[in-house]
Amino acid sequence: MEEQKKFGIIGRNISYSFSKKYFEDKFQRLMLKNHFYDVYDLQDLSEIETLFKTQNLVGLNVTIPFKEKIVPYLDELSDEAEKTGAVNCILIKDQIKKGFNTDVFGFEKTLLLHRKDFQDAALVLGNGGAAKAVQYVLEKNNIPYQTVSRNGDLNFANVTEEMVSKNRLIIQCTPVGTFPNVDDCLDFAFDGITDQHLVIDLIYNPNYTSFIKKSSEKGAKTVNGFYMLEQQAEKNWEIWNF
């Protein structure tokens, strides 16, 4: 009898998580009867210490709001995780807990698939764990960007239409508009968006956030976070089975 392999996702208020169904379907397709995937909804990250002691735990996904806070609990970091300071995938092997950032991989594939050459400067909306992966990819691809955050010098109250029209790549990295709060939307200078823009919203549930709908009304090409999610999930699977 093969021993069990356990996987899961940690986050807060994550009953909507895509990962459980994605990986359970995968186990079924690959006929892996001894693989299990659980949702660990943690109110406090210190609970992770107990979770790490779970027998046969091989890998974890990490989501909001723990992508950055998890780092001190790990033994090693991949290059991307170290440079971004954010982790969304953990491998537990020989009692060593190593953090990876596969959001980087997923976002880069999404960006390269959709971006046109004239979309050559970006506004990154938000400054959390997901934004860190986006900033890393933009730097890697020599795309200049500015970060708009609630409390930064550049914030949602002072971004002008002119600034929006000059930056033809807009990446929405905040959780605003995620299910169940689907009517929520960032306060943003949408009138600066044109048909020359590519707007990527990392949210995948709902498919079309208010932010995407408003951008689309201005003629922008819009992409949600689903492809990025699939790509990072596949990368996680690769890491866990290395």
How far apart CA 97 and CA 90 sit, in angstroms, is: 7
How far apart CA 16 and CA 187 sit, in angstroms, is: 25
Are the C-beta atoms of residues 58 and 91 closer than 8 Å to each other? yes
How far apart CA 223 and CA 205 sit, in angstroms, is: 13
- How many Cβ atoms from other residues are within 10 Å of residue 149's Cβ? 17
Residue 98 annotated in active site? no
Are the C-beta atoms of residues 51 and 10 closer than 8 Å to each other? yes
Residue for token pair 């699939």? 230
- Residue tagged active-site, from 67, 97, 132, 214: 67
Q: How far apart are the first and last CA of the chain?
A: 21
For the beta sheet containing 145-148, the strands, ordered from the edge strand earlier in sequence to the opposite edge, are 145-148, 122-125, 169-172, 198-201, 221-223
Catalytic machinery residues: 67
